């Protein structure tokens, strides 16, 4: 696990876009795993900028999103489908048939989850998975629990997650209580993983992730077992990391 602490959230977004750009140079038909929320917005803005200036070609990319709220139609303003359209897909030439997201209102949940897993496998697996991290250590919507689901599944959201996401809705009562999410095993199958963390609110959980043993009570700790994980954090999110406090250069850490 490589830890990189940068001066600003803008620098985090650019660094993540750099990783995606390098992958695209190596493999123009790569498969990207994408995330939502506030953290990856800087990355998406930078990818769009590079596309508009001709630095980046993304028409042959295939994408799979981490999760979707259960019970929301695609046209719901707070669905992750709408988020991705607004913040990325409308500005890039990725064909719609190459864009994949878990359905918010599947007729049969288990069958739909299995189909999503099969689609990822048929695409050749995810080359680079972009992640955020919840204040309770969740990745995707894999919440702290006694055990974790390996594959795409219907997940009950923790109350802290519901409260954190309430800012996007008119009231906390409108926040969905469930989501369909990639499982920990699905995430861990990605060839590379880039986790983004920005802001003071993520400082404590990043510190815990750095020192934590592998435990289902901190789902992100599973990433310690992956051979190619990069953590990109800004100064605020990384402020409690011991090597930052000691002034050790982050590019020497792994």
Active site residue 18: no
Helix/strand/coil for 123 = coil
Q: 46, 68, 127, 143: which one is catalytic?
A: 143
Whole-angstrom Cα distance, residue 76 to residue 58?
Answer: 27
Whole-angstrom Cα distance, residue 9 to residue 95?
Answer: 30
Residue 209 near residue 135, CB atoms below 8 Å:
no
Q: 46, 67, 68, 234: which one is catalytic?
A: 67
Active site residue 75: no
Counting every residue, how long is the chain? 254
Whole-angstrom Cα distance, residue 209 to residue 224?
Answer: 9
Q: 46, 65, 117, 138: which one is catalytic?
A: 138
Q: β-strand 2-6 against 99-100: which pairing, if any?
A: unpaired
Active site residue 159: no
Active site residue 226: no
Residue 124, CA distances (Å) to 109, 117, 150, 175, 202 in order: 23, 11, 18, 34, 33
Residue 52, CA distances (Å) to 19, 47, 57, 89, 207 in order: 18, 9, 9, 13, 37
Q: 65, 136, 142, 165: which one is catalytic?
A: 136
Residues catalogued as catalytic: 67, 136, 138, 143
């Amino acid at each position: 696990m490589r830890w990189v602490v940068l001066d600003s959230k803008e620098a985090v977004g650019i660094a993540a876009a750099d990783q995606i750009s390098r992958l695209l140079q190596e493999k123009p038909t790569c498969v990207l795993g994408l995330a939502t929320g506030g953290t990856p917005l800087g990355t998406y803005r930078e990818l769009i900028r590079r596309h508009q200036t001709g630095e980046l070609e993304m028409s042959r990319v295939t994408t799979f999103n981490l999760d979707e709220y259960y019970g929301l139609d695609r046209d719901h303003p707070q669905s992750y489908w709408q988020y991705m359209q607004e913040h990325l897909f409308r500005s890039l030439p990725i064909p719609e048939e190459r864009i994949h997201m878990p359905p918010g209102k599947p007729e049969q949940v288990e069958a739909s989850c299995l189909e999503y897993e099969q689609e990822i496998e048929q695409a050749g697996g995810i080359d680079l998975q972009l992640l955020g991290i919840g204040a309770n250590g969740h990745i995707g919507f894999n919440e702290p629990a006694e055990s974790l689901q390996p594959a795409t599944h219907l997940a009950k959201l923790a109350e802290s997650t519901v409260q954190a996401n309430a800012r996007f809705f008119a009231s906390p009562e409108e926040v969905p209580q469930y989501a369909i999410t990639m499982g920990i095993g699905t995430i861990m199958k990605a060839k590379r993983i880039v986790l983004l963390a920005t802001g003071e609110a993520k400082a404590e959980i990043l510190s815990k992730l750095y020192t934590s043993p592998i435990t289902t009570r901190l789902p992100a700790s599973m990433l310690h077992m992956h051979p190619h994980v990069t953590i990109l954090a800004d100064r605020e999110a990384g402020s409690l990391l011991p090597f930052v406090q000691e002034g050790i250069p982050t590019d020497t850490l792994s």
